[in-house]
Structure 1
Amino acid sequence: MSKAHSGICGLHQSGPKLHFQIKRMGYYWPTMTISPKSSCGHEYILAATDYFSKWAEAVTLKEKVGEALWAYRTTYRTVTQATSYSLVYGVKAVLPLESQIPSLWIAIQEGLTIEDNVRIWLEELEALDEKRLKAQQQLECYQARMMKKFNKKVRPQSFQVGDLVLAIRRPIITIQRMGNKFMSKWDGLYVVKKVYTNDAYKLVDKDRLRISLRNRKFLKRYYP
């Protein structure tokens, strides 16, 4: 690997090129693309998504935090009414302490024969789909309650013929650049000419030259 980093081989381009060069020299292992650490010594990434903003956050870690992962996977979730471990494997997780001081559940398992263990395991696998479906229903009910609580604070706005409004500039794709970064995302001034069903409005500009159709969610009231 040191030879692949030095001399004429030093001008590699990122990971895929280095991966190709090392394999060409006769070295290979299954996890060679993910095993090497970064220049800062980080090997793992802890990723999470904020529930409200939907933004993904990632933190680099030098070593795996097994205790944190174990706590997350075995913690009872109010949203799904279950643990993440049980939704994946169909059974509850066995704590390391239970292997030293057997609990009632472990004692019952040890007293079963191989055939009984296989039968119970198959029954748990058959019930896993139903358990996941129930967790999905619990999640949807929780999201509905959150949405209902949030919508109580939302004041739906509507416009009448003759109202002055501003409209979001087209294209509505926010990742596409439209001028410089200080340009306003609102375009106008427009006048509501006609109101349609399904929150659609026909707009004309102040000179009565441009006519366009816009949905209510892309409009806001203009206050002179």
Structure 2
Amino acid sequence: MIDNYKDWHEQLPYALLGYRTMARTSTGATPYLLVYGTEAVILAEVEIPSLRIIQEAELDDAEWIRKRVNYTGKRMARAFNKRVRTRVFQIGQLVLKRIFPNHKEYKGKFAPNWQGPYMVRKVLSRGAVVLAEMDGQEWPKAINSDAIKRYYV
């Protein structure tokens, strides 16, 4: 398990883990099971569905996966929503629109990142906004409010 006899102490925890979790032929059980009455669970096994974990939890496969997905989805949503800033725009406000690299208005990395000003024509649900040019011509598509920022004169 080691390449050099001088670094054996660095590999010792891994060797002991392998020794303690490997089944013995004489008893048919691991030393960990004999001492603690349950199998050792590696942290990676808790995250990745394995047959042994599902059997110990006495859940069927679909129920276990549904619980993990619900928990993970709620945790990710909570982490995302913690950083979301709600932006409220009113009709008639002046805003700047972000120029994304995949848009035809993109001119390169030394060009401005924002264009405008535009006027808010409609405020739709879930943060969508319909913009209009300063001459009154309305944009055909709604824009998400995270791609615009308020323009201060």
Bigger RCO of structures 1 and 2 (CA < 8 A, at least 6 apart)? 2
Question: Could you say which residue in structure 2 is the equivalent of 1:188?
Answer: 116
Query: Partner letter of residue 162 of structure 1?
Result: G
How far apart are the structure 2 equivalents of 1:146 and 1:177? 34
Question: Could you say which residue in structure 2 is the equivalent of 1:162?
Answer: 92
Identity %: 26
Which 5+ residue runs of structure 1 have no aligned equivalent? Answer: 1-66, 72-93, 108-122
Question: Could you say which residue in structure 1 is the equivalent of 2:148?
Answer: 219
TM-score if structure 1 supplies the norm length? 0.38
Count of residues paired in the alignment = 117
Which 5+ residue runs of structure 2 have no aligned equivalent? Answer: 1-10, 25-29, 36-50
Matches within 5 A, 1:1-150: 95-98=17-20, 103=31, 105=33, 127=55, 130=60, 134=64, 137-138=67-68, 140-150=70-80
Q: Is residue 204 from structure 1 mapped to residue 132 from structure 2 by the alignment?
A: yes
How far apart are the structure 1 equivalents of 2:52 and 2:106? 55
CA, structure 1 residues 155+138, in 2 after alignment: closer, same or farther (shift >3 Å)? same
* Offset at residue 186 of structure 1 (A): 2.1
Q: How big is the alpha-carbon RMSD for the aligned residues of Structure 1 and Structure 2?
A: 4.3
How far apart are the structure 1 equivalents of 2:132 and 2:63? 50
How far apart are the structure 2 equivalents of 1:134 and 1:127? 10
How far apart are the structure 2 equivalents of 1:126 and 1:142? 17
How far apart are the structure 1 equivalents of 2:89 and 2:120? 7
